[in-house]
Chains A and B, each alone.
Chain A
C-alpha cells in the first residue's frame, strides 16, 4: 500500500476546488511513493468522476447515498472509512475546509491513526516518510510532522497548492462502491435548514478591504464599504474595531478571527500588529494605506500609500470608478 487517496469534497452538486489542488500534490506524492493516485467521490447524487481522472486520479471510488446530500460528518465518516478500508491507501488528503477539518478527526480516531491539520507543505523524504509541514503558533512557526501509524491522514489548506491541470482524454478506472450507511449514529444530527449567504464569508472573497484603528467612527465604515463594493469584495476589520462592537466578529481578520488569502487585500489605517498580519500576510497582493510612514504594515505590503485614509480611500474609490 503506497497509494495516495484524495477526498473529493463536494456539496452534492459541485466538487470543491481544493480537491483539484489535492490531486496535483497527491500525484507528486504518489509518484515518489511508487503508488497510484485515487480519489473518493462520495455524494448525495451521482457526480461525474471524469474530471478527477483528467486531473490525475488513476482510480475513483464513487459512492452515493441520500444522506450524503447534507453536511453531516458521521455519515461521511462511515462511508469514507468504508472506502479507505477497501482501497487501502497509505496517505489520505482532505481539504482543510470547515467540513474537512471536522470530518478528518472522526475518520482518524475511527481508524486509530495519525492526522495532521491544515498542512501547507507535503513531501516524501528519502526514507519514503510522508512529511507534513504545517504552521502553528498562529502562523509563526512551521512544524515538520511525521507519522508512525498507517494510513496517514492530513488536512491541507485551501489555495496553497495549484490545481492539477486537465489532461483531456486521460483514462482511469471508476469503481462504484455500494455504500453501507445504516448506523443509528449517523441519524443523531439532522439538517433543518440551509441558510445560505446569511453570514459573511471572508475566506472566499477575492478582494478584502479592511479597516483598523485609523478609522475614527463606526459610521465611517461607509468609506471602506464603498471601496469594497467597487471590487465586489468584502469588508474586514482589525481586532480593536470588532472588540469595540463597530462590526461583527465575522469580519475580524487575524489569528483570533479569520485567515484570508484574497487576490487583493487593502489595509486602511491598520498598523500591522502580528495578530492582524497572521490573518492576511499570505494575500496575493497587499495594499496598505496609513498616515504613519513607520507603520509595520508597510513592510508586508506590495504597495504602500502614506496618507490619511479619509483622503486616500475616497480618492481611490473615485479614481477606480473613473469619476
Chain B
C-alpha cells in the first residue's frame, strides 16, 4: 500500500489588521500590510498534519500566487507539511475562482494520487469559499464543507461534523474527498524555532502552466468567467450616535426610554 497523500490548499493573504484602504482613490493598498497564510488555511493544514500523525503519509501544501508566496509554503513546512508547491507564472494572474480551481485541480492531478484535500472555509481577502468545492467538482470527488470537527480518521473514510442547514451534521465521506474547515476544527500549532530553521532551508517546487498541462486560455483574466468591472472602497459607515455620559443608572434609564425596549416583560 502506498503511503496516503494529504494535500492542503493554501493562499497567501495580507494581514487584514494592517491593510490600508484609500477611500478617496477607491483602492486597496496591498503593499501596506505584511503577508501571511490565510488564517483558515492554517486550520486546514493542522488537520492534515493530524491525519498524518495518526495514519502516516505525506502532507503536500499547494499554493498559487506570486513568487513571494513561497514564504507561506515555507511557513506550512514549518508547521508540518512535507513539501510545498507553488503555481506561479503571469498566465495565472487575475484568475477568478473558477480558473483558480481549474489550475489547482490540474496541479493536484499532476502531483499524483491524493487521499484527502484540505482547504479553509474561505480566504480573508477574496472571502468566497468557492475554490474548495469547485476543485472537488472538477476532480469528481465528494466534499464536505464547513467542517467544525473531525471525529474519525480512516484510510477509506473520514467522519466529520459539518455546519449546515442551521445545525450540525455528523457525516461520513468516502475517500478520496475534500473538506473545507472552519476555525472551530482545531487550534493550529505554532512552529518551534527549530522547525522554522528547517523550513527556511526547504526547497519549494515551482510549477508553471506547462508543468500542470493546462490551457492558458482557461486562466487569468481572459480565462475567467467573471471579471471585476469596477471596485469601490466605501468609507466605513459611521452612525449618528447618541452618547450618554451620566452615571450608569441615569444613562441606562435614558437609553431604555429612547429604545422603548420591553421593560414591561
- Tell me the A residues contacting B by CB distance below 8 Å: 11, 70-74, 77, 97-99, 101-106, 108-110, 112-118, 131-132, 135-138, 140-149, 185, 188-199, 201, 204, 248-250, 252, 255-257, 273-275, 277-278, 281, 286-287, 293, 298-308, 311-312, 315-316, 319-320, 322
Contacts and interface: CB of A to CB of B under 8 A. Distances in A.
A303 B127 contact: no
Top 6 A-B residue pairs of the complex, sorted by shortest distance between their CB atoms: A114-B225, A102-B145, A188-B142, A117-B128, A105-B133, A109-B137
Q: Which of A11, A110, A113, A115: most chain B CB closer than 10 A?
A: A115
A18 to B, nearest CB: 11
B91 interface: no
Nearest to A197: B167
B196 to A, nearest CB: 21
A145 B69 CA distance: 26
A110 B140 CA distance: 10
A141 B231 contact: yes
Interface stretch (B3-11, B57-65, B208-216, B248-256): B248-256
Contact of B137 (A110, A116, A149, A302): A110
A106 B133 contact: yes
B124 to A, nearest CB: 6
A123 to B, nearest CB: 11
Interface stretch (B14-22, B46-54, B77-85, B198-206): B14-22
A98 B141 CA distance: 19
Given A118-B127, A140-B21, A201-B166, A148 B225 contact: yes
Given A105-B130, A106-B133, A293-B245, A147 B173 contact: no
A103 B177 CA distance: 15
**By DSSP majority rule, is chain B's interface helix, strand, loop, or mixed?**
mixed
A74 B139 CA distance: 13
A307 B16 contact: no
Contact of A319 (B28, B130, B163, B252): B252
Given A105-B137, A143-B231, A305 B184 contact: no
Contact of B232 (A73, A114, A141): A141
B74 interface: no
A257 B183 contact: yes
Contact of B142 (A11, A116, A185): A185
A193 B252 contact: no
Contacts of A141: 21, 28, 231-234
B170 A144 contact: no
Contacts of B21: 137, 140-141
Contacts of B182: 249
Chain B's interface size range is: 35 or more
A75 to B, nearest CB: 10
5 contacts: A103-B133, A141-B28, A147-B225, A189-B143, A199-B148
Interface of B: 16-17, 19, 21, 28, 39-40, 96-98, 101, 124-134, 136-138, 140-146, 148, 159, 161-174, 177, 180, 182-184, 225-234, 236-245, 247-249, 251-253, 255-256, 258-259, 261-264
Given A71-B164, A191-B171, A256-B39, A315 B248 contact: yes
A131 B261 CA distance: 40
Contact of A71 (B128, B165, B184): B165
B144 A189 contact: yes
A101 B129 contact: yes
Nearest to B168: A195
Nearest to A274: B17
A116 B126 CA distance: 11
A188 B174 contact: yes
Nearest to A259: B127
A199 B184 contact: yes
Contact of B134 (A71, A108, A189, A256): A108
A303 B167 contact: no
A315 B254 CA distance: 12
B263 A319 contact: yes
Given A106-B137, A306-B243, A73 B145 contact: yes
A71 B169 CA distance: 8
Contacts of B261: 320
